[in-house]
Amino acid sequence: MNAANPIPRLDTIHRVLTPEGCELELRLAGGIIRARAWLIDFFFRMLFFSGCVFILSRSGRMGEALLFLLAFLLEWLYPVVFEVFCEGATPGKRFSGLVVLRDDGTPLDWSASVARNFLRAVDFLPFFYALGLVTMGLNREGKRLGDLLAGTLVVYRQTVPPPKVMDDDTKAEVLPFTLTEAEQRALIEYRLRAPGFSRARAGELAQLATPLIAELPPDAARERLVHLGNYLLGRGALAARTEEAG
């Protein structure tokens, strides 16, 4: 809320302060997408295992023994190996855009990965990750017991991609005065998304930015904001008139 309100607004961001004084924003992943990632992994494992059954079941008792070994390894080492060697993501997590990091944002190492994955046995209790699901609901970071023990986070790999500019308006106008960073961001956001809003809504929004558009009618206000946004984005050429103004 406002500065007066001590409770921050609800969000799913986990902030990490690096030793260099940078603040990283990690976007925590919750239960639904993690369940989906698990499902994809499960599918892959089943696929691989049934392929092996198909091949090894013809090789008699040796094949049987190998199958048991394989089942064991798939259950216990599949996530560990992938998380350590494939940038902290099993195939399912990769397809879901997830990555496992340690609490301070550094990559997983063997000990953390082994801890979080071997504790699946506990998270699985009493039936199908019931304990893990409940634990995920109880802490802000959505950690299951294995994550709590290993000190790891499951986060989204990429930032939300900005929408593509969908029009070819390339005129730009110089900002009439200096904007704060937050204001610049809002302006850029408006410029990128304006083509997606309904015409009325785009005009209505534009008129809210009174200091920038003065008394312009909605459509003109929208256009002016788009041009200012172009300027911030480095898009297009400045008109002579606005150069004088700047």
* Site residues, other proteins (CB under 8 A): 1-2, 7-13, 27-33, 35-36, 96, 125-131, 133-134, 136-138, 140, 142, 156, 160, 162, 179, 182-183, 185-186, 189-190, 193, 196-197, 201, 204-205, 208-212
Q: Taking the complex as a whole, how short is the minimal distance between the CB of residue 233 and other proteins, in angstroms?
A: 15
Nearer to other proteins by Cβ, of 22 and 182: the residue is: 182
Q: Distance (Å, rounded) from C-alpha 125 to C-alpha 49?
A: 24
Nearer to other proteins by Cβ, of 114 and 212: the residue is: 212
* CB 174 within 8 Å of CB 240: no
Tokens standing for residue 26: 């990690």
* CB 30 within 8 Å of CB 136: yes
Q: Distance (Å, rounded) from C-alpha 95 to C-alpha 43?
A: 12
Q: Distance (Å, rounded) from C-alpha 73 to C-alpha 83?
A: 15
Q: Taking the complex as a whole, how short is the minimal distance between the CB of residue 9 and other proteins, in angstroms?
A: 4
Q: Taking the complex as a whole, how short is the minimal distance between the CB of residue 241 and other proteins, in angstroms?
A: 23
Nearer to other proteins by Cβ, of 82 and 190: the residue is: 190
Nearer to other proteins by Cβ, of 150 and 213: the residue is: 213
Positive or negative, the Cα torsion across 146, 151, 154, 157? Answer: negative
Q: Taking the complex as a whole, how short is the minimal distance between the CB of residue 49 and other proteins, in angstroms?
A: 20
Give, in order, the Cα–Cα distances in Å from 151 to each of 90, 133, 185: 18, 17, 33
> Degrees (nearest 5) of the Cα angle 240, 244, 246?
110
Nearer to other proteins by Cβ, of 220 and 239: the residue is: 220
Q: Distance (Å, rounded) from C-alpha 117 to C-alpha 76?
A: 7
Nearer to other proteins by Cβ, of 24 and 237: the residue is: 24
Q: Taking the complex as a whole, how short is the minimal distance between the CB of residue 169 and other proteins, in angstroms?
A: 17
Q: Taking the complex as a whole, how short is the minimal distance between the CB of residue 12 and other proteins, in angstroms?
A: 5
Q: Which amino acid is at 167?
A: D
